[in-house]
Structure 1
Amino acid sequence: MSKSSSVTKAFAAAFVVLTVSAIAGIVTMVILYNTQIATMNPTPRPTFPSTTTGLPPVMRLPKNLVPERYKVFLWPRFYSQIIEEVNVTSANQTWHFSGNTTVYFHCVQGTSSIYLHSQNLDVYGPVVASTDTDEGIRVTRMENHQDQTNFLEIELDYALKTGGNYSLFLAFRGELGYLDGMYSSLYKEGIPAHEDDTDTDRVLIATQMEPTSARKVFPCFDEPDFKAEFEVTIIHRRITTALANGINTDGANIIDDDWKATAFQPTPLMSTYLFAFTVSEFTPTRSSNHRVEINTYARPEATAAGHTKYAADITGRILNYFEGRFEINYPQRKLDQIALPDLISAGMENLGLITYREGALLYEEGVSSLLDKEDIAELIAHELAHQWFGNLVTMKWWNDIWLNEGFASYMTLYAVDAVEPDFKLKDVNILNNLHYAFEADALASSRPLSTSQGDVQTTSQILEMFDIITYYKGAAVLVMLADLVDQPVFDKAIRRYLSDWQYKNTDQNILWEYIQKADDESSGERNIAEVMNSWTKQIGYPVITINTTSGEAFQKHFLFNDSAVSSLSWHVPIRAMRYTTLFRLIWLKPGESAMKGEFVATKGEWILANVNCTGYYRVNYNPENWDRLITQLQKDPRRIPLMNRGQLVDDAFNLARAKLVNVTLALNLTRFIRNETELIPWAATISNLGYFVRMFDRSEVYGPMQMYLRNQVKGLYNSFSNYTANSTVPTDHSSQQIQIKAIDVACSNELPECIEMAQHMYADLMKINSTNNINPNLRSVIYCQAVAHGGKEEWEFAWDLYLRSSDVSEKDRLRRALSCTKKIWLLSRYLDYTLDPELIRMMEVTSSISDVSRNVAGQALAWNFIRAHWNYVGYWNAARLIEAVTGRFSTQFELKELERFAKDYDLGPASSAAYQAIEQTAVNIQWVSENKDVILEWFERETA
């Protein structure tokens, strides 16, 4: 944190010149910098910021001042090319920046104090003036509070007047961060950018502001409802290109032999977390669009090789889809996208400048898999959906971040389905969203989708909101809401909501008002707020139990922990069918049960509820109805809707985990899978048996379980044998995915012909100068299984390929394969490599350790490793890391270790994840003790 600052009038006057004459000020800054640099050593790479302790009494900015416009000058002092000297790395490099900002604001309530945010900045030179009278106002004190508020407090000689308009000028210096704020990214350029370049090491500058890092780049009102325009000028090396949210005004102004300045037009009103810029030597690929200039930037070699073509092609089509669906044009005439070597998330939706992790955006023919296209399309659709949900209409505070992320996840379902119908992803992703949310939301330590603002104050608390509940439960309840009011009614309400609240901030109550109005117009009889608040303001979800003999249905809070007491209930819309006949929509209200006779099954027919899985609830039945459903699945599964075939498996297994049905019922349900050829039922079965694997792969249950899975998957594996043997894939995307799952399950469960196939393909690859003839779709699973069933030679070959590969998707596949070995000493070596950012990039540390932890041979290693190196490995995505590493915990010893870990370590935004892991571990311990013998007996009987 910077200390309180004061400067002489001479310094203040000098920086006022910057606001009057941009170019003159820039030249002055360059001269000053060149003078300083001659007398100082380059700034070393910054260390990790320390964590402050103690909560201040007030965490939110006062609302007496409203920013309207920022004028920002930023000067990152870096070289885009690393020059190395003997025994000295980055000899010419610096890691700091400087700049100034003028914020123009309106006073809605008189005050003699200005509060805004500043973190890790050296701020100086405050100048306050009335823009109504041009009168200066003397600053008497300036202090940067050394607590979690990050408040920059400026005291004035006299009070600002209500209704007055003012400006505040501040100059500042700072150091580059680590994947947040303004940060550097080092990479190697395979093709020199310039003919006289001999060194391929490169550096670029990028930003990541969400949620609270804009204050690390310039002093600002860093809360989402302080929307303003941003007019930015970037000073940068002449060989680089600067991109920002706005449109480049007139090219770049040359300052001297080294520097130039690029100015950008003011942005539309937006929140500070969307502020973004990059400085790099990257080159663009232009997309065709009738109105918006779309450019996708990447390393020059990737652009030249056409690796941005798929992203460039699909972006315009998705943008057109959203403009048509929402009937609101994207709010700017340009949209830049950039594929960055380092980004903490897969993508960030900054207005006008969307940043992506390059491995998530680039597609290389013959190297990237066909399924990579699905991931690219989904990611771009998610970030483009944010241009409306989040950027155009923004939540008032982070407690309602689901209005951003839940809507983006929901809209992705439809956008990809519209522009790439062959992918057939909508139903798969609806179920994926549902199952991810169900898993996290079945714990008593879960949280509501929408919490009170008072519960989300600190940066750590804000970061905790970016979780499974926000993304996946948010999307799932929107699927349910759209089904409840009918899709056309929902879409009409959303169009009005976006139109009326563009460039403003909302909360979920405003959303309910728009849904209510549209529902009323279509003769709806529901209280939307009452219905939906039961899903968003409460934790968890219900299990609906239907008795098909009496016809009665009732609800109960579904929890894995059967000792937890809950009286929560919901407004539940039930869509059900009797054999082939759909019921009318039936409401199950809090405290009520369905009328007798409503769900009666006659003549041996079965009843199925939550048809097509639009409801956010699980369903249990009386034993007779379960038996009929199981019989139907074994006899003719296609009489049951495809999505429900997957959901029946998921419900049965999770009901068994919650001890609401016998575990043998869930296992009996899997018998039909032997003859199933569709992806959704297989994906649900593999996922749920994965819990059994995690609980029992260190016990005697595992042998018979492997034999059963081997028998079940053999037919599916053989159905793809001709494709696999020739290293080819089916044309249908769904079949491509199930082919991969079949290979994974077959090899993991020791099907001899599968292991032989994987080893043979990998052995061919290992031959000297051998061409990689493994189909890109199959490489991930082949690499993993070959390394798993190999030794040192196979592992080190994969490691060497990883180091030599320049394709990010290929590196990701190899990085995952390295975690598949059963050799503990190799896994230990791999974990040590994650501590060296030259070997494993920082953004990949979490996923690399998580991959090791999912390997039974590496779980204990990973657990010990993260505790020994928490200050490094827990810096980013700590919640995800804890969830992965504790996934197998099922003993009292592991529970005690986990409780000690949660108590002794500074977990920050991962605290909630740790307590959820403690609860889940306690549930696992009880479940294993009660079910192990029954499960062992079942698998032994099935494989006898």
Structure 2
Amino acid sequence: NHTRPDTACGPEAVGGCYRDVFDESVVMSTYLVAFAILPLDYGSLTREVPTKYGSVKTLEKQNVAEVITHEIAHQWFGNIVTMTWWDDLWLNEAFATFTQFIGVDVYNPTWNMMDRCYVEFVMNALQTDSMLHSHPIIMAGVSDPSEIESLFDDISYFKGSSLIRMLEGVIGRRVLKEGLMIYLNRFAWRNAASKDLFEAFSEAYRKINQNSGAHSNSPAENLTRVMDTWTTQVNYPLVTVRISGNRLHFRQERFLLYPNGTQIWESHQTNHVPDRQNPEPMWTWLDLEESKTVELDHTPAFVKINLNQTGLYRCNYEFSNWQQLVKLSRQGYFGSTDMAGLLNDAFTLAYIGRLNISVPFDLFETLEEDRLDSGTPWTISMRKISELQPLMAQDQQSAEKLVKLIFKILFDQGQIRQTDAITIAVKFARRSGALDLVWTHFTRNWDQLLKIYGHMPFLMSDITKFPADYYTEFDYERTREFFETHSLTSGKRNAYQSLESIRANIAWIKHNMESFKTFIKNKVIE
């Protein structure tokens, strides 16, 4: 929080942003200079295919910017104020993770960093904390060095930053900033605990809102009580909402990928209920209640809770409401983050048997790139579909039909840019273990691929490099025959490199298999 640089762009913009956020905190006694030392990538010097999902060069820049802004944030969260003990590690790491996205978003708004929050840490938090053997954010009684080291994990970083994001959604950035100023100045060069932070936020909330209007008697006035259920309990809730006339019936339960046990949270829902007279979403608090009924002044056609996915919980609805959400998605009703949340919840609920598998795929088919401001929904979809690999392995025929469906959406329906479609297809093949199915589909639709990518040398090269991981004589012969009888345009060199790689893989197995077996037999204890 030294003097702000005059320039408003480049790396200095991050410092300017942090100066704005932390302007009223104590002045630091040192300057921080950050350097990033990277390996020289000759390919990235000349090649950068611009896509919504980012080239290698762009992603590298984003990663460097995130690391730098994360470490700069530790000047406040860790240096000026340090947690009292390791059980509050999240006070350091979660805030540094959350503010790194704010800083990088100022540095380059075109990267859509605030939208990426959902993929980068909210989705990871939801996945990691859905296990019975997770742990609370605040680990009371931790003392062993190995236990302390284990706290540097997804819960401290990602669940913690997700809670801050949720808190900002409830109290607003103005109150969040004011609360941070109270916290940083009150505990400057000292130690603090989670309750100190929450008390500072509550104080800021009362100061700014003055207990008036909609803010009167709000649970946000006592955030220590509210946040205790989120920081001292393991896991998070699944909130199910059902429409009955003009009433909304809410029910919360502990979410686990493999259910076991119950807990209750004090939580809020931002309910997106269609109302022509009042288009603003309404708020509902579950005050340590397992269920709650809210009466409206109209009968809603549908309900969507957790607007902008600010809450750290999963959502479920009646099947008829899911169908309405699919219909609205087809009309472009939802933004990227809400679409990502709907897809993530739908695929996950189908995974545990709480929703028909048709729903997430119906949502997936509605994706159209031109209506979305980022690639987040596509990223979520590919990750979740890749998790179907165990099902695909059990039913080859269904797996082939799934690949056809994905490729129809990517290549036939004009819903996504051509440069992005091939990138998504390749990532799907690698993650899902469906390399052979995808390559087979490529070969059967080669004329279509040539028509689309024949004039794009980099992408055509990516396609012809695809079979390089094969390792049998059968795969070599069929790939060689295919390449020799089809036009390869600018991918010809990579095609022959793929054949060489297959030959090398075959030779590696031939020369090393017996010695490898002997080595393993001698090393592994039965």
C-alpha distance in 2 between matches for 1:783 and 1:495: 56
Alignment of 1:452-463 (within 5 A): 452=140, 454=141, 456-463=142-149
Q: Give how far 1:718 is off.
A: 8.7
Cα shift readout 1:377-433 (whole Å, capped 9, x = no counterpart): 222211211221122222122221111111111112211111211111211223432
Letter in 2 for 1:377: A
**Partner SS, residue 585 of structure 1:** strand
Cα shift readout 1:295-317 (whole Å, capped 9, x = no counterpart): xxxxxxxxxxxxxxxxxx84432
Contact 2:368 2:416 in 1 (8 A): no
The equivalent of 1:565 in structure 2 is 261
**Partner SS, residue 243 of structure 2:** coil
C-alpha distance in 1 between matches for 2:504 and 2:241: 49
Length-normalised TM-score, structure 2: 0.75
**Partner SS, residue 595 of structure 1:** strand
**Residue among 585, 596, 614 paired with 2:310:** 614
> Which has more strand, going by share of residues?
1
C-alpha distance in 2 between matches for 1:496 and 1:827: 67
Contact 2:368 2:415 in 1 (8 A): no
**Partner SS, residue 292 of structure 2:** coil
C-alpha distance in 2 between matches for 1:621 and 1:517: 36
**Partner SS, residue 553 of structure 1:** strand
Name structure 2 gaps, 5 residues minimum: 48-55, 477-496
Contact 1:393 1:503 in 2 (8 A): yes
**Partner SS, residue 582 of structure 1:** coil
**Residue among 229, 233, 243 paired with 1:538:** 233
The equivalent of 1:574 in structure 2 is 269
Cα shift readout 1:4-32 (whole Å, capped 9, x = no counterpart): xxxxxxxxxxxxxxxxxxxxxxxxxxxxx
Alignment of 1:286-365 (within 5 A): 314-327=10-23, 328=25, 331-339=28-36, 358-359=38-39, 365=45
The equivalent of 2:442 in structure 1 is 752
Task: Describe the shift of the 1:480–1:639 C-alpha distance in structure 2 as closer, same or farther (beyond 3 A).
Answer: same
**Residue among 386, 390, 396 paired with 2:74:** 386
The equivalent of 1:420 in structure 2 is 108
C-alpha distance in 1 between matches for 2:390 and 2:147: 30
C-alpha distance in 2 between matches for 1:661 and 1:360: 48
C-alpha distance in 2 between matches for 1:746 and 1:716: 20
Alignment of 1:663-812 (within 5 A): 663-673=357-367, 678=372, 679-697=375-393, 699-700=395-396, 701-715=398-412, 720-721=417-418, 724=419, 740-742=423-425, 744-745=427-428, 748=435, 749-750=438-439, 751-752=441-442, 774=458, 785=466, 787-788=468-469
Task: Describe the shift of the 1:472–1:828 C-alpha distance in structure 2 as closer, same or farther (beyond 3 A).
Answer: farther
Letter in 2 for 1:445: H
Q: Give how far 1:584 is off.
A: 2.4
Task: Describe the shift of the 1:746–1:412 C-alpha distance in structure 2 as closer, same or farther (beyond 3 A).
Answer: same
Contact 1:409 1:475 in 2 (8 A): yes
C-alpha distance in 1 between matches for 2:502 and 2:317: 42
Q: Give how far 1:596 is off.
A: 4.4
Length-normalised TM-score, structure 1: 0.43
Cα shift readout 1:511-552 (whole Å, capped 9, x = no counterpart): 111011111222253220111111111011111111112421
Contact 2:308 2:337 in 1 (8 A): yes
Letter in 1 for 2:348: N
Q: Give how far 1:463 is off.
A: 1.8
Higher gyration radius (CA): 1
C-alpha distance in 2 between matches for 1:709 and 1:640: 21
Question: Is it true that 1:440 corresponds to 2:440 in the alignment?
Answer: no
**Residue among 478, 484, 498 paired with 2:184:** 498
C-alpha distance in 1 between matches for 2:197 and 2:41: 32
**Partner SS, residue 315 of structure 2:** strand
C-alpha distance in 2 between matches for 1:827 and 1:709: 35
The equivalent of 2:52 in structure 1 is none
The equivalent of 1:639 in structure 2 is 333
Contact 2:266 2:289 in 1 (8 A): no
The equivalent of 1:845 in structure 2 is none
Letter in 1 for 2:121: N
Aligned pairs, number? 455
Tell me the percent identity: 22
C-alpha distance in 2 between matches for 1:318 and 1:552: 44
Cα shift readout 1:529-586 (whole Å, capped 9, x = no counterpart): 1111111110111111111124211101111113x122x1111111011236333211
Contact 1:480 1:614 in 2 (8 A): yes
**Partner SS, residue 411 of structure 1:** helix
Name structure 1 gaps, 5 residues minimum: 1-288, 293-312, 341-357, 725-735, 765-771, 796-816, 833-860, 870-900, 905-944
Alignment of 1:44-59 (within 5 A): none
The equivalent of 2:51 in structure 1 is none
Task: Describe the shift of the 1:416–1:330 C-alpha distance in structure 2 as closer, same or farther (beyond 3 A).
Answer: farther
The equivalent of 1:660 in structure 2 is 354
The equivalent of 1:98 in structure 2 is none
Task: Describe the shift of the 1:326–1:718 C-alpha distance in structure 2 as closer, same or farther (beyond 3 A).
Answer: closer
Task: Describe the shift of the 1:480–1:719 C-alpha distance in structure 2 as closer, same or farther (beyond 3 A).
Answer: closer
The equivalent of 1:513 in structure 2 is 199
C-alpha distance in 2 between matches for 1:290 and 1:754: 62
Contact 1:534 1:570 in 2 (8 A): yes
Contact 1:743 1:754 in 2 (8 A): no
Contact 1:400 1:507 in 2 (8 A): yes
Larger RCO (CA under 8 A, 6+ residues apart): 2
Letter in 1 for 2:240: T
C-alpha distance in 1 between matches for 2:63 and 2:238: 32
Contact 2:471 2:505 in 1 (8 A): no
**Residue among 451, 474, 480 paired with 2:160:** 474
Contact 2:471 2:503 in 1 (8 A): no
Q: Give how far 1:441 is off.
A: 0.8
**Residue among 581, 591, 597 paired with 2:289:** 591
Question: Is it true that 1:649 corresponds to 2:343 in the alignment?
Answer: yes
Contact 1:339 1:362 in 2 (8 A): no
Contact 2:137 2:156 in 1 (8 A): yes
Contact 1:717 1:746 in 2 (8 A): no
C-alpha distance in 1 between matches for 2:328 and 2:415: 25
C-alpha distance in 2 between matches for 1:361 and 1:613: 37
C-alpha distance in 1 between matches for 2:40 and 2:226: 38
The equivalent of 1:625 in structure 2 is 321
**Partner SS, residue 252 of structure 2:** strand
C-alpha distance in 2 between matches for 1:490 and 1:462: 28
Please provide the CA RMSD for this pair.
4.2
